[in-house]
Amino acid sequence: MSDSFFVSEKRSREEDEAHDIFEDEESLDSLSESDEESKETPAEKRLRLAKEYIENMRADIADDEIDAAEIDKELIASRMLNAQMEEGGRIFKFIASNFEFSDENVENISIKKFRGHRLAVTAVCISENEKFLFTASKDSNIIKWDLETGKKLHTFGSCIPPKSKKGKGKESLPNPDGHFDHILALAVSSDGKYLASAGKDKQIHIWDAKENKHLKCFKQHRKAVTGLAFRKGHNQLYSSSLDRTIKIWNIDELSYVETLFGHQDGVVSIDSLSRENCVTVGLRDRTVRLFKIIEESQLVFRASIPHGGSLDVVKMLDENCFASGSDNGTLCLWNINKKKPTFSLVGAHSQGIISLATVKFSDLLVSGSSDGSIKFWKLISDQGIVKKAELIGSLSVDGYLNSLSLSSSGKFLGVSIGQEPRLGRWGINKNVQNSCLLIDLTFIIVSKE
């Protein structure tokens, strides 16, 4: 990897960004800084001012006379503040400390089981507004659920082509409106309008998630499509495949954009945040790659042998840091300015880590394993770099935890469970029910105020 990929931004630019975030907020202009506060890092300053701003907003809402228009203004300002902080690219939601895994709290956890698939459930995602949950399975179907009631709202059905007249295989349909083989990945856009699915049939299907109708089928990948990720706040979609490529799609136009190359083995996991970047892992080439679309470049991070024979899953924590899971149960944290992991924990799980989930731009990470364990981690940062993952609690269920999805508030965790792993059929456990669990984490969230 070229050293030029790791040129750090100047500290002055970072400080300017920290100042600009609050420059237009009149309610913050009057806050004075003590000598102690002047020694804060830009990240610490952003966090302190944000907390003070939110506390002021809560105090205003608690007054006897509530001005609805004023509340709307405050809520809009809060959303704008979050958007500006996301542009800073670093973790600013500190919620992991609110999770308390006492025996009493764990016993009170509410778990809903969603059953509707015949085969292993391979993917789950929760909509940004926390109203819907989507599941996909090796049975080629996608189900849309009401997150609150658990009611099945719609099934996006399969499209099985007829057998080929030549006697082998199946005929290729020119415009299929569904999958005909295992579905391996799901993603829903930030606005909740689009749902994307992909699978072993080499196809990507785009659905109108609100109207429950099929929009488009993409067939450009040459092998199974294993991962999907929408760019946060945009309708730009990234896909990864066993054909070793990453492809970019414009979903507003329902069109193909370009293909990215670099991996030497099949790409099995992909993720993205707000910037026009995506991070991927390539099985046994043991590399994590950050593709910078605008710069037309990529950063390559290599995992050493102790970190596992293959990298199976990756998740972005903020724009500069990401986490990976390996087939030997190793959890690694990475930073774009470091060639080696900033943190690695061999044996984080007794078996391979096959799923990861986060609340975007937060210090909470959840990992799932083929051993049925779900572990919750608090991310410890130093000067904007995630340096450590500290275990804060764990849960256990039966089956392969093929996919995890945390809601935007961190209050709900979706878990897709299968008798067999997402990408294979080894180690089948017929005692497991193919299903999806929705875990209500409210009972283990304790206010620290």
The band of 62, judged by pLDDT with boundaries at 50, 70 and 90, is low
Q: Characterize the bridge pairing of strands 194-199 and 204-208.
A: antiparallel
Give 87's pLDDT tier (boundaries 50, 70, 90). Answer: low
- Residue-wise pLDDT tens digits, 18-57: 444 334 444 434 434 445 555 566 666 666 766 676 676 6
Residue 71 has pLDDT above 70, yes or no: no
If asked whether residues 266 and 410 sit together in one domain, one would say yes
53 and 164 within one domain: no
Q: What local confidence, expressed as pLDDT, does residue 158 receive? A: 87
pTM score, whole prediction: 0.80
Same domain, 30 and 176: no
Nearest to 112 by CA among 442, 438, 440: 438
Domain contains 2? no
In a domain, 276, yes or no: yes
Domain boundary among 72, 88, 104: 88
Residue 238 sits in the same domain as residue 360: yes
Q: What is the mean pLDDT of residues 183-199?
A: 98
- Examine residue 266 and state whether it is found in any structural domain, yes or no: yes
Query: Within a domain: residue 361?
Result: yes
Contact assessment for residue 120 and residue 138, using Cβ atoms and an 8 Å cutoff: yes
Domain termination residue (choose one: 43, 69, 88): 88
Give residue-wise pLDDT tens across range 393-433. 999 999 999 999 999 999 999 999 999 999 998 889 999 99
Mean pLDDT (the chain, rounded)? 85
In a domain, 449, yes or no: no
State whether 362 and 252 are in the same domain. yes
35-49, 89-103, 311-325: the lowest-pLDDT one: 35-49
Q: Please report the pLDDT score of residue 8 as a whole number.
A: 42
Domain span at 192: 96-444
Q: Which of 88, 121, 147 is the last residue of a domain?
A: 88
- In the predicted model, what is the mean pLDDT of residues 211-231? 97
Residues contacting 44, CB < 8 A, separation 6+: none
Whether the pLDDT of residue 247 is over 80: the answer is: yes
Estimate the crossing angle of helix 11-23 against helix 42-61, to 10 degrees.
Answer: 10
Question: Tokens 């800084």 appear where?
Answer: 33
Confirm whether 219 is domain-assigned: yes
In a domain, 102, yes or no: yes
Confidence of residue 291 (pLDDT cuts 50, 70, 90): very high
Q: Based on the structure, what is the number of domains in the chain?
A: 2
Dihedral, CA of residue 224, residue 227, residue 230 and residue 235, to nearest 10 = 0
Are 373 and 390 members of one domain? yes
User: For 81-103, what is the mean pLDDT?
Assistant: 77
Which range, of 90-104, 179-193, 239-253, averages the lowest pLDDT? 90-104
Under 8 Å between Cβ of 120 and 418: yes
Give the CATH number of the domain where residue 186 resides. Answer: 2.130.10.10
Examine the domain organization and report whether 59 and 180 are in the same domain: no
Residue carrying structure tokens 């959840």 = 366
Mark whether 119 and 143 lie in a shared domain. Answer: yes
Q: Are residues 416 and 347 in the same domain?
A: yes
Residue 192 has pLDDT above 80, yes or no: yes
Residue 10 pLDDT level (bands cut at 50, 70, 90): very low
Is 353 inside any structural domain? yes
Contacts 24+ apart (CB under 8 A), 58-63: none
Per-residue model confidence (pLDDT) at position 403? 98
Q: Residues 6 or more apart from 372 whose CB is under 8 A from it?
A: 396, 397, 398, 399, 400, 401
Nearest to 93 by CA among 356, 360, 274: 360
331, 202: one domain: yes
CA distance 431 to 372: 13
Q: What angle do CA 39, 8, 342 make, to 5 degrees?
A: 85
**Same structural domain, 300 and 410:** yes
pLDDT at 335 over 80: yes
In this structure, what token pair is assigned to residue 86? 């996301």
Average pLDDT score over residue span 353-370 = 96
Q: Are residues 78 and 171 in the same domain?
A: no
